[in-house]
Chains A and B, each alone.
Chain A
Amino acid sequence: MSVSQSKPYPQPGTKEKVDSKEAFADKTNLEDLIEYDIVVRMPPKKRYSLEMDVRGIVKAKPKVTLPEAI
């Protein structure tokens, strides 16, 4: 398995410079490199109800924002 030294997702706190694949394997638990698909449904910080008056319902219109150059 080839392991790239240039991490696509560099994180601060990685101090050591890795010089070889062997050194990389020594210092890194390869299990940590596996991508996990975990979903946690967090409850909101606060939840409450209110009553509101709907005064009207209109279909939205597009809002065009042109780039500066045009």
Chain B
Amino acid sequence: MRIYPWYDIVDADEVLMQGDLISSCPVIVPSSSIGVGRISAEIIEYDVIVMSQSCDLAHHKLDNVLVSPIWPISEMGSENDFFKSRKGKESLRQGNLPGYHLLNRCELEGFVADFQVVDFRNVYGVPLDFLIDLSKRNGKRLRLMSPYREHLSQAFARFFMRVGLPVDIDLFK
């Protein structure tokens, strides 16, 4: 039987692909008023996963890379009890929480991690050249393998294409 591993470890100088996990990615949040001169800005850091398509990344067809924050499921659980419950975890596993996506545990040496949750509601655009530099500085990184990265991408598409109806059909009783 073929084995389909979820993750692989790639070298720092490998080309960036969809599904690459980048740790401590900074995002600049500027102060409300921006003008020429000195301003203060806040930097927030997240562990992220690359959502942009690999072909766009490989051919530099974009300036900004779409990334989604990822969280260990235990940290999500400490913010919201639903993620601690069996029902919550099972809903997550089955894809019934549209804004979130579950990634499997990683048991690769040096990259051991619990289940992780991808947050589709808070995506960021990070300049491609900056992200390439950051990934090189971070060293070896984890890569979500096929078909799990396409599964992630599909989950994001499903989240993004949702339509809320102003008047829904009543529940059948």
Which residue numbers of A lie inside 8 Å of B, CB to CB? 7-9, 11-13, 29, 31-42, 44-57, 63, 65
Contacts and interface: CB of A to CB of B under 8 A. Distances in A.
A65 B59 CA distance: 11
Nearest to B35: A54
B95 A36 contact: no
A40 B79 contact: yes
Contact of B91 (A36, A52, A53): A36
Interface in B51-83: 61-63, 69, 71, 75-76, 79-80, 82-83
B49 to A, nearest CB: 14
Interface size class of B (residues with CB under 8 A): 35 or more
Contacts of B104: 12
Given A48-B43, A50-B43, A36 B37 contact: no
B11 to A, nearest CB: 24
Q: Which 6 A-B pairs have the closest CB atoms?
A: A9-B95, A44-B44, A46-B45, A40-B80, A35-B96, A65-B61
Nearest to A7: B94
